[in-house]
A = this chain, B = another copy of it.
Amino acid sequence: MTNVSHILRKTGHRLTKQRQQILRALTCRPQSVEEIKSALLSQRIAIDTTTIYRTLDCLVKLGIVAKTRFNEHNAKYELLGKTHHHHLVCTTCSAVKDIPLDDDFLMKKVKKLTNFHVQSHTLEFFGLCKHCQ
């Protein structure tokens, strides 16, 4: 957190009340803008949707947050935690579960097979969660 505020300052951004609160609302689980907004509202913190979008865009650019689209119409955002991980997305109830997977294997293979310079990747599994199957 203090780390994040440092990054913000260093890049000429300001650590506003809103940004602090949005950062606090972020989790390692992907959330939509509306989910973040109502999570904040339930704590009586009202922040405009536009501000949430702009803050998230900013955090994505700084590499603090990841933006992902599971095959839904809206994007989801999650705090980039320490450990790299992937997701299990339930096609029935939309629940998302983190799953750590060692994918060095694949990354090396891509590097060997192509001349593409990989910067990041996403790996999502779609199916039925324990509850829905």
Contacts and interface: CB of A to CB of B under 8 A. Distances in A.
A60 to B, nearest CB: 9
A123 interface: yes
A106 interface: yes
A128 B117 contact: yes
Interface string A63-79: 00001111100010000
Given A67-B71, A99-B110, A110-B99, A127 B118 contact: yes
B116 A125 contact: yes
Given A67-B71, A71-B75, A75-B71, A118 B110 contact: no
Interface of A: 67-71, 75, 88, 90-91, 97, 99, 101, 103, 105-106, 109-110, 113-130, 133
